[in-house]
Structure 1
Amino acid sequence: MLNLERLRTLDAVARHGSVTGAADGLHVTTSAVSQQLAKLEREVGQQLVAKNGRGVRLTDAGRLLADHAARILSQVELAQADIEAQRGQVVGEVRLAGFPTAARGLFPRAVAGLRRDHPDLCVRISELEPERGIQQVLRGDMDLAVVLDWNNKRLPVPGGLAREPVLDDAADVAMPADHPLAGRAEVGLEDFAADDWVSWPAGEFCYDWLVFTLRSRGIEPRIAHLAGEHHTQLALIQAGLGVCVTPRLGRGPVPDGVVLVPVRQPMLRHIYAVWRTDAERRPSIRAAVEALREAGRAVEGVQAY
């Protein structure tokens, strides 16, 4: 009989494309992955992986068995969900991923609520950008991810994932206190056509959104500085090095010398949770989603500008 953990190892190699990636996803050593693969090859009597440069590739037999392994593991996930649902208790472990401001603005309240209401549930959190969070959920390395899109640019969500809204997060324009528009009650992005911009790193979803949005307003953006953390972006604004869009969730204290002004045409980040549909019935997933929604409602109640 095929060993389930060895099938899980083969599935991880197929999903991650390497022994190292599989080891990271399974939280084991590369040596452990190699040993499991060798044992599985002895069980089936065929070679499942072959060297490919510095990495490995699946043989025809390996791809065939990996396809079966994915289906078997999906059925195991469904069985676990059904058993948990029948028992009706929130127990076990749930792994949450979230982009930085969600991790800062939502996770402390949500995880504390889960610990209070469900003491037998172990919650583990990781900070991941939305695209990577979705990938980790699809791979089974995370149970749930908090991701985002914008009101004018959607983040593609692959099939096989369920989703539920957590909150809508407004964003403002941050500028130096001596900026000519700092005294306005509201502004339009087109008012900053001549300004330098501070943005998220190139290639990230929010960077693409910013460029798309500015161009849609007739602005060819002059992006002068890139920073992933909002605190770093605001420090650059404080130094007089440009302007930036800054969402309210997880923003924290605004440095002296920085002014935030709302936008006439509101810019909203739609923040939602995603998880695999085959885990839909797990009470731990439903409890985590509800805890995030409660945290979102609390944030919405205090972040009105």
Structure 2
Amino acid sequence: MLDLERLRALHSVATYGSVSAAADVLHVTTSAVSQQLAKLERETGQKLLERNGRGVRLTDAAELLVTHAERILSLVEQAQADLEAHRGSVVGQLAVAAFPTAARGLLPGALCALRADHPDLHVQLVEEDPLRSLPLVLRGDYDLAVVQDWNNEPLPLPDGLHKGVICDDVADVALPEAHPLAGRDSVDLKELAGDAWISSSPDSICCGWLLRTLRSVDAEPKMAHMAYEFATQLSLVAAGLGNAILPRLGRCDVPPGVAVVPLAAPLSRRVYAIWREEAARRPAIRAAIRALRGAVPADVPAVTLVPS
């Protein structure tokens, strides 16, 4: 009979590309993964890995076995979810990824509520950009991810994932205090077309969205500086080095020298939680959704949809 943990080791090598990467994901040593694979080769009577330069590659037999392992591991997860649902208890482990402002503006309250209401549920939070967290939830690295999309650019959801809406979030523009439009009640994005901008790192969802949004109002963006943290972006704005888009969720303290001005045509983003289809019945998932919605700040509109 094939051993589940040995199949999991092989599946991780196939997914992450190397024995060492699989060991990191499984939180074991490379030696432990190699031993699991050696035992699996003896069980199957087939060679599963071959040397490929400095690394390894899967044999045809291993590729065939990985296809079955994906289905087996999915069924195991579904069985665990069904058992939890049958028992109705919020227990076990829950790995959660969240983009930075959600990690700051939602997760502290949600995690405290979960700890108080469900002491047998152990939650681990990792800060992650939505573009990276989506595939990691799909692969099983995280059980749940908090992601975002913008009203003018929906985030495609891969097959196999479910989502529940947490809240809507409005964004303002942060201008240097000396900017000619800093004293306005509102500003049109087109009026800022020729300005310099400050955004997050080039590979983040927010940077790509800002570039496309500015181009949509006939402006080729001048990306002056890039910094992942909003606090750093605002410090650069305060120094007069450019403008920044500033969502209200998880907003940090606005430093002196920065004027926050609403946009005449509001830009808003929708905040979602996503999880794998196989885990949809887990009480822990539903409890986490409730806790996230309960942690929405008063100045951010919550959305009271029931996750399917």
Q: Give the TM-score taking structure 2 as reference length.
A: 0.95
Q: For the residues of structure 1 that align with 2:55 and 2:248, how far apart are their CA atoms?
A: 43
- 1:131-166, CA deviations, whole angstroms, 9 ceiling, x for partnerless residues? 211111111111000011111112221000000111
Residue 77 of structure 1 contacts residue 279 of structure 1 at CA under 8 Å; is this kept in 2?
yes
CA contact (8 A) 1:171 1:268 kept: yes
- The amino acid of 2:13's aligned partner reads V
Deviation of 1:230 after TM superposition, in Å, equals 0.7
Name 2:87's counterpart in structure 1: 87
The question of 1:241 aligning with 2:241 is answered: yes
Q: Please tell me whether residue 146 in structure 1 is matched to residue 146 in structure 2.
A: yes
Residue 265 of structure 1: SS of its match in structure 2?
coil
Does structure 1 conserve the Cα–Cα contact (< 8 Å) formed by 2:193 and 2:217? no
Kept after mapping to 2: 8 A contact 1:161/1:275:
yes
| Equivalence map 1:35-50=2 (5 Å) | 35-50=35-50
Query: Residue 138 of structure 2 contacts residue 276 of structure 2 at CA under 8 Å; is this kept in 1?
Result: yes
Percent of aligned pairs sharing the same letter: 59
Q: In structure 1, what is the equivalent of residue 29 of structure 2? A: 29
Aligned to 2:260: 260
**What's the counterpart of residue 278 of structure 1?**
278
Letter in 2 for 1:72: I
For structure 1, which runs of at least 5 residues remain unmatched after alignment? none
- State the distance in 1 between where 2:269 and 2:230 align: 15
Distance 2:128 2:75 in 1: 27
Structure 1 equivalent of residue 305 of structure 2 = none
C-alpha contact 1:91 1:284 (8 A) present in aligned 2: yes
Structure 2: state its 5+ residue gaps.
303-308
Question: Residues of 2 paired with 1:134 and 1:225: CA distance?
Answer: 27
Change over 3 Å in CA distance of 1:300–1:120 after alignment to 2: same
Runs (4 or more) in structure 1 with deviation over 3 Å come to: none
- Number of the residue aligned with 1:183: 183
For 2:152 and 2:100, the matched residues in 1 are separated by: 21
Q: Who is 1:71 aligned against?
A: 71
Give the count of matched residue pairs.
302
Greater mean alpha carbon deviation, residues 39-48 or residues 293-302? 293-302
**Which residue of the partner structure matches residue 113 of structure 2?**
113
CA deviations 1:10-40 (Å, max 9, x no partner) are 1111111222221222122222212211111
**Cα offset, 1:53, TM superposition:** 2.2
**What is the TM-score of this pair, normalised by structure 1?**
0.96
Instruction: Give the C-alpha shift of residue 297 in structure 1.
Output: 5.9
Deviations 1:163-206 (A, max 9, x none): 01111111111011111111000011111122111111113221
